[in-house]
Amino acid sequence: MELKNEQQLPAFVLAELYGKSLVYIDEEIKPKKVVVTETKKLPKQYLGDYQKKIIVLVNDEENIYVSDENLQFLSGILNACKLNLAHIALMNFNINAESFSELKKELKPGYLLLFGINALQIELPFAMPDYQVQEYDNCKILVAPSLADLNNSSAHAIAEKKKLWKSLQKMFNLEK
């Protein structure tokens, strides 16, 4: 069947063919105003109760926070400093990659322990060697190797743990 240019398809056929199409005929299209609302930032994800304003920042690509073995190791470090998980906020930089200024603004830490993260990664305006306690913007900062590197019984790891302990004693004013 051949359609001539003068013929028009019945309305029900057009409705079937173009039922999901939007067509404007002889109407002016006016743009709608789009209202952009400021989205609320999700709260930081951390493990612990953060009672003593201590952030422990790790960089673990395989776990939400750290592995069970490294969490047990960290708990031992905290215990030696007369602290526990209730006192800290354990955060994974791999999930919450934020700058020092963002952390400072939102959480106002008094202490920041970086395991496997250097000062430049969190956008501090200076570099720091491992185990040096540095005060900046009313926050004591300590950089150390990753928990995984420290958590073994090799001679090198034992020597590194001793350096870490001396720095933690200085940072938290612990008796020697």
pLDDT band at 61; cut points 50, 70, 90: very high
Q: Is the dihedral of CA 74, 76, 82, 84 positive or negative?
A: positive
Q: What percent of the chain has pLDDT over 70?
A: 74
pLDDT band at 118; cut points 50, 70, 90: very high
Residue 119 neighbours by CB under 8 Å, 6+ apart: 126, 127, 128, 134, 141, 143
Model confidence at 114: pLDDT above 90: yes
pLDDT at residue number 30:
61
Decide: pTM greater than 0.85.
Answer: no
pLDDT band at 145; cut points 50, 70, 90: very high
From the number of C-beta atoms within 10 Å of its C-beta (0-12, 13-18, 19+), residue 12 rates as exposed
- Quickly list DSSP for 145-156: --HHHHSS-SHH
Closest CA to 56 of 176, 157, 172: 172
pLDDT band at 45; cut points 50, 70, 90: confident
- Name which residue leads in pLDDT, 49 or 14: 49
pLDDT band at 23; cut points 50, 70, 90: low
User: In the 8-state DSSP scheme, what is residue 87?
Assistant: G
- Name which residue leads in pLDDT, 42 or 54: 54
Closest CA to 123 of 75, 76, 57: 57
Model confidence at 17: pLDDT above 90: no
CB 53 within 8 A of CB 103: no
Instruction: Give the mean pLDDT of 156-173.
Output: 97
CB atoms within 10 A of CB 164: 20
Query: What radius of gyration, in Å, describes the C-alpha atoms of the chain?
Result: 29
C-alpha distance from residue 89 to each of 14, 45, 107, 149 (Å): 63, 9, 9, 21
Query: In angstroms, how far is CA 98 from the centroid of its own chain?
Result: 6
pLDDT at residue number 40:
46
Model confidence at 8: pLDDT above 90: no
